[in-house]
Chain A
């Protein structure tokens, strides 16, 4: 248990569906991240939020829409996804201190059919 909780753990959705992934941390961290992990590819950073403000969007398609209402919660809204978007989506958080390590959630296994 890392202190970062992701829900749901598994999600199957059609290409026309709209769904949301949720991430929650109560570690007092101010930075939160979404990563995508596809088979045989490095972890890809998608979005970074610092103090609820988006500081990085790593050229992510607009069908992925992040939301950070406060420093403890992070959402990833999904709509009209493609089968190639099927992957493990990982949320992480880190503190403000320099060189502090990031804590990861268990991930949401997303399958787009």
Chain B
């Protein structure tokens, strides 16, 4: 079965600093999804990547899928308190998008 490893597990950054979260898959990814979760709440979809080398941005968040399609990174520029939460990567390992396997998440805190 496909496994996803996220690093770091938790992160504390000062407001205005940049940060990167990584997601590594044990198998080739057909699709990689990034979600954000506020504590105890549902997941909010951020971005989906499917092509090797693909990069997408939304506001100050940029995600990239490497050429081999086994690793993705999420980069936040000039972090703000509103960026705080748990970031989860989800993988489609079957090519059918019928279900997603998730990593353990990265907990981000942004200090003033």
The chain A residues found within 8 Å of chain B, CB to CB, are 2, 4, 6, 31, 33, 40-43, 45, 48, 50, 55-56, 88, 90, 92, 94, 97-107, 109
Taking the closest CB of chain A, its distance from the CB of B9, in whole angstroms, is 9
Determine whether the beta carbon of A99 is less than 8 Å from that of B42: no
Taking the closest CB of chain A, its distance from the CB of B66, in whole angstroms, is 18
A104 is contacted by which of B40, B43, B92 (Cβ under 8 Å)? B43
Determine whether the beta carbon of B40 is less than 8 Å from that of A48: no
Given contacts A98-B97, A99-B92, contact A43 B41 (CB under 8 A): no
Q: Give the CA-CA distance A92 to B99 in the complex, in Å.
A: 10
Q: Give the nearest-CB partner of B6 in chain A.
A: A42
Determine whether the beta carbon of A101 is less than 8 Å from that of B99: no
B41 is contacted by which of A98, A101, A106 (Cβ under 8 Å)? A106
Q: Give 9 nearest A-B pairs by CB, closest first.
A: A43-B102, A104-B43, A104-B42, A106-B42, A42-B104, A42-B102, A99-B97, A99-B31, A101-B45
> For chain B residues 28-61, which have a beta carbon within 8 Å of chain A?
30-31, 33, 35, 40-45, 48, 50
Say if the beta carbon of B101 comes within 8 Å of chain A: yes
Determine whether the beta carbon of A94 is less than 8 Å from that of B4: no
A107 is contacted by which of B41, B96, B99, B104 (Cβ under 8 Å)? B41
Taking the closest CB of chain B, its distance from the CB of A94, in whole angstroms, is 7
Q: Give the CA-CA distance A113 to B102 in the complex, in Å.
A: 28
Q: Give the nearest-CB partner of B92 in chain A.
A: A99
**Contacting residues, chain A, for B92 (C-beta < 8 A):** 99
**Contacting residues, chain A, for B30 (C-beta < 8 A):** 99
Best-surrounded residue of B30, B43, B45, B98 (most CB of chain A within 10 A): B43
**Contacting residues, chain A, for B100 (C-beta < 8 A):** 45, 102
Taking the closest CB of chain B, its distance from the CB of A110, in whole angstroms, is 12
**Contacting residues, chain A, for B42 (C-beta < 8 A):** 2, 4, 6, 90, 104-107
